[in-house]
Structure 1
Amino acid sequence: MRLNDYRFRDTWFLPAPRRAVFDAVVDVENYPRWWPDVRAVRRIDDDTAELVCRATLPYGLVIRMRRAEQNVSTGRLRVHLEGDLEGSLAASVLRHPAGTTLEITQRVQVRKPLLRKLAPVARPLFLANHAVMMRRGRTGLRARLTA
């Protein structure tokens, strides 16, 4: 794998019904209400939104998400990513005896010039930054679903 290619896999347990989790995850416009690292969302059309994300490190990412799959009966979601990150994100919303499991897989390549340039020395920091962002997302979604 090249320095600017990343693969992430996260599993979130959420003590909420599967349909509530699915509905929250597809409601991208409301991410800033529960995910502190998603600073802004701008809807482009019915299938596309532009997100501005910033976690702990002092840089933001502008990412355009375009829906490729959304199937409530199977719990499968997939989006194409363009902008500062290019690639894909897939998610499965699965029943769990005590709620729902959300499995997220991301395959991306960094396109932002500064981050590409810093990758040889800063890759471990980028990985840690991503982990913090995902942890805060899980915590925020859990709070929103149980409120």
Structure 2
Amino acid sequence: MITHTGPVRLNDYLFRDTWFIPAPGRVVFDTVVDLENYPRWWPDVRSVRKIDDDTAELVCRASLPYRLIVRMRRAEQDESRGLLKVCLEGDLEGSLAAAVTPHQAGTTLEITQQVVATKPLLRRLAPVARPLFLVNHALMMRRGHTGLRARLA
């Protein structure tokens, strides 16, 4: 299920996605924290460059003809509770939190992103293109979900 909540400001976004993955929780968690391998299973993540042990820079491009460069810095990683949180800087600023919950049939991955678009193109086009940005994000997340399921099948 994908839920998008209305903005406080035009360039603010809150995304909530819930993915079901038919794989053990530990395997899902390990794959989600392994940013360097995202391009192998998530087609919209074009490249990842490791900055240090807690920071990586991702270049993403989904369906619309623009790319986002986002630096992700680990803020929390608790394997025993299945929790992960990163701070985002760059074309999007804010945070992303993920919760991995194993259950009998597999694992649920809940992803919450609270961001502000800082890329000038996105800011300028938001008054007319915001609905397209939301669809673009939903398609990117759908491909990520499909890719993760295939990777762990």
TM-score by length of 1: 0.99
Instruction: Calculate percent identity across the aligned residue pairs.
Output: 78
Uncovered stretches (5+) of structure 2, i.e. residues with no partner: 1-7
Task: Describe the SS at the equivalent of 1:49.
Answer: strand
- Equivalents in 1 of 2:117, 2:104: separation in Å? 37
- Partner amino acid, structure 1, of 2:23: A
- Runs (4+) of structure 1 exceeding 6 A deviation are none
Matched, 1:97 2:104: yes
Q: Which of 1, 6, 11 is the matching residue for 2:18?
A: 11
- Equivalents in 1 of 2:104, 2:24: separation in Å? 10
Aligned-residue CA RMSD (Å): 0.3
**How many residues of Structure 1 are paired with residues of Structure 2 in the alignment?**
146
- Partner amino acid, structure 2, of 1:110: A
Uncovered stretches (5+) of structure 1, i.e. residues with no partner: none
- Equivalents in 2 of 1:65, 1:85: separation in Å? 10
Q: Which residue of 1 aligns with 2:83?
A: 76
Matched, 1:26 2:50: no
Q: Which residue of 1 aligns with 2:128?
A: 121
- Partner amino acid, structure 2, of 1:54: R
Q: Which residue of 1 aligns with 2:114?
A: 107
Q: Which residue of 1 aligns with 2:93?
A: 86
TM-score by length of 2: 0.95
